[in-house]
Amino acid sequence: MSPTGWLITAATVALGAGLPYWLPRAVIALRVRIFAWVGGEEGIRAPGREVPAEEFKKVYGHPAANGRSRGAALSDLFWYWLSPGPEVHQEHLEPGPRYDDVARTTRQILAGLSREQWTELVGRCTRRVLDELPDDTRVHRVRLRDLMMPVWAEVYYEVVFRAPCPRSVRDLITGNANDVVSALKCTSLRHMDRRARLTAHLRDRLAHDPPPVPLPSSLSEREQAFYLQGTFFNTAVVQMSEAMAHLLLALATHRPVQDRLAAGEADPDFLDGVINETLQHFPLFGVAHRITSGEIPRDGRKPIPAGSVLLFNYPEYQGSGGDPFDPDRWLDPDTRPSAFIPFGVTANRPCPARGFAVLTMRVAAEETLRRFRLESSAEHTRSLPSRGPCLLVPRTGATEWTPARRRTRLAAMRLADRWEGVGRSVVQLVLGSYMVWDARRQGLCRNHFAASSGGSAPSVAAGR
């Protein structure tokens, strides 16, 4: 071969070997630019030049930072992803009597269980779902988000209806939640038919056998079904499955941490430290936005005017991923990070599940660790579009791996994960750009408020 031929071959091999490392990141950067371009540049970044980190919580918690949907182009995109019924989703309702009614109902439903009942319920549902894995002595290749989703579908069905979740309904719930989160991560388009099947089931159920806690009286029967679907069978199921996928993947990729827990000799608060460290490194929210309803005055800076879109960036505020993964730092008040808001800020619509989400994660993690050793070499990013590839090695009955076998399996997994990431990033770019364009075209939020201020009925059929 000529020197030029060698050069071309060497360059091709180098490019081919390096491709999985750089392409997904380049596509993500391009996607962010396309999203900003299609969605329209808007917003004041916090932390950022106008709102430094020291003022982040003060501005987030200001009473005038209370607009949720109206007046932000971004809302069209969130409404599109959370359809059907985004106009009655608690996260996106404007402040007012309707919001109060909905938020009160959520609190009442969640307050129906004591800590002991939460522990029993989550333990039971986790065991049932893990029991469904075939042949207890085999190593299972799973995606952690998919593994966990049926657990939370069963848990939240029982929380709402106070009755065990039939298998067919569990499938409807996971079908709905999976469709929402896959569209949000741009790995798939929306499938409104899957979501509509759950709405139809809930409407039927509400007509014949409503839940014990009365649903918001300010909502129509159809909106009540949307409310349950949005808050419990979308947000609760998606957030808990994502949080658990992060936690279990963090354990799988930090074996010394996992081994300390499995040996049962760790400090009783160590698992809570691991959960906090996971939420510090991989906060579930990227950016939460608010629209200001009035001026926000500031010391020594120009006020933030009414009608501004504030973009609160969780990973940036928390400094996520900057430090090594160190759960022990949570055990000592002197080393605990102070910029930590996994469930939002108390003064401005924090997460209603903040009082027990960590408890329930702990129960599900303990059940899983009791039965399996977790092994993974997949890339762990905040958005985790891979759904967390992982090997579950049964703690009893499975043949012990030799170090060489372990190395080979993890190397094969790393390679497959990288190459899968390349193809997926291109899919995300194409589908994401389409959905941003489609959401803008449909203008679900924009049209809803235009219709309500014009006196005609708001478009409750949003997203169909």
Residue 285 CB, shortest distance to ligand HEM, in Å, is 4
**Based on CB atoms, which residue is closest to ligand HEM, 235 or 258?**
235
Q: Which of 352, 347, 342 is nearest to 105 (CA)?
A: 352
Does 241 help bind ligand HEM (rule: CB under 6 A)?
Answer: no
Q: Minimum distance between the CB of residue 50 and ligand HEM, rounded to whole angstroms? A: 19
236 binds ligand HEM (CB under 6 A): yes
Q: Which is nearer to ligand HEM, 90 or 258 (CB)?
A: 90
Give me the least distance between CB of 352 and ligand HEM, in Å please: 5
Nearer to ligand HEM, 63 or 350 (CB): 350
Give the binding range for ligand HEM (CB under 6 A) out of 128-136, 238-246, 257-265, 301-309: 238-246
Q: Which is nearer to ligand HEM, 240 or 296 (CB)?
A: 240
Q: Interface with ligand HEM includes 284 (CB under 6 A)?
A: yes
Residue from 343, 384, 385, 388 touching ligand HEM (CB under 6 A): that is: 343
Q: Which residues contact 403 (CB under 8 A, 6 or more apart)?
A: none
Contacting residue, 35, 270, 285, 401, with ligand HEM by CB under 6 A: 285
CA atoms within 13 A on the CB side of 11: 6
Q: Looking at beta carbons only, is 339 or 422 nearer to ligand HEM?
A: 339
Residues 101-120 that bind ligand HEM (CB under 6 A): 103, 106, 110
Nearer to ligand HEM, 158 or 375 (CB): 158
* Site residue total, ligand HEM (CB under 6 A): 25
182, 187, 229, 235: which one binds ligand HEM (CB under 6 A): 235
Nearer Cβ to ligand HEM, position 259 or 269?
269
Map tokens 């522990």 to a residue. Answer: 119
Residue 3 Cβ, how far from ligand HEM at the closest point, in Å?
57
Residue 140 CA to residue 226 CA, distance in Å, equals: 36
Q: Give the one residue of 42, 50, 91, 328 binding ligand HEM; rule: CB under 6 A.
A: 91
Q: Show the site string, 147-176: x = touches ligand HEM by CB under 6 A, - = not.
A: ------------------------------
> Is residue 139 at the binding interface for ligand HEM, with CB under 6 A as the rule?
no
Encoding tokens for residue 337?
Answer: 């990070």
Smallest distance, ligand HEM to C-beta of residue 109, A: 8
**Looking at 342, 385, 388, 443, which residue binds ligand HEM (CB under 6 A)?**
342
Per-residue contact flags (x/-) with ligand HEM for residues 344 to 383, judged by CB under 6 A: x----xxxxx---x--------------------------
* Interaction mask 195-234, ligand HEM, x per CB under 6 A: ------------------------------------xx--
Whole-number minimum distance, CB 238 to ligand HEM, in Å? 9
**Integer Cα distance of 168 and 171 in angstroms:** 5
Q: How far is the CB of 244 from ligand HEM (least distance, A)?
A: 8
Q: Does 182 bind ligand HEM (CB under 6 A)?
A: no
Nearer to ligand HEM, 305 or 350 (CB): 350
Q: Per CB under 6 A, does 460 bind ligand HEM? A: no
What's the chain's length in residues? 464
Least distance in angstroms from the C-beta of 353 to ligand HEM:
3
What is the three-state SS of the chain?
A: CCHHHHHHHHHHHHHHHHHHHHHHHHHHHHHHHHHHHHHCCCCEEECCCCCCHHHHHHHHCCCCCCECCCCCHHHHHHHHHHCCCHHHCHHHCCCCHHHHHHHHHHHHHHCCCCHHHHHHHHHHHHHHHHHCCCCCCCCEEEEHHHHHHHHHHHHHHHHHHCCCCCHHHHHHHHHHHHHHHHHHCCCCCCCHHHHHHHHHHHHHHHHHCCCCCCCCCCCCHHHHHHHHHHHHHHHHHHHHHHHHHHHHHHHHHCHHHHHHHHCCCCCCCHHHHHHHHHHHHCCCCCEEEEECCCCEEECCEEEECCCCEEEEEHHHHHCCCCCCCCHHHHHCCCCCCCCCCCCCCCCCCCCCCCCCHHHHHHHHHHHHHHHEEEECCCCCCCCCCCCCEEEEEECCCCCCCCHHHHHHHHHHHHHHHHHHHHHHHHHHHHHHHHHHHHHHHHCHHHHHHHHHHCCCCCCCCCCC
- Part in contact with ligand HEM (CB under 6 A); list of ranges 15-23, 76-84, 218-226, 279-287: 279-287
CA dihedral defined by 386, 276, 252, 180, rounded to 10 degrees?
Answer: -20
Comparison of 170 and 373: residue with beta carbon closer to ligand HEM: 170
The span from the CA of 102 to the CA of 110, in Å, is 13
Q: Rounded distance, CA 308 to CA 455, Å? A: 25
- List contacts with ligand HEM (CB under 6 A): 90-91, 103, 106, 110, 231-232, 235-236, 239-240, 243, 279, 284-285, 288, 342-344, 349-353, 357
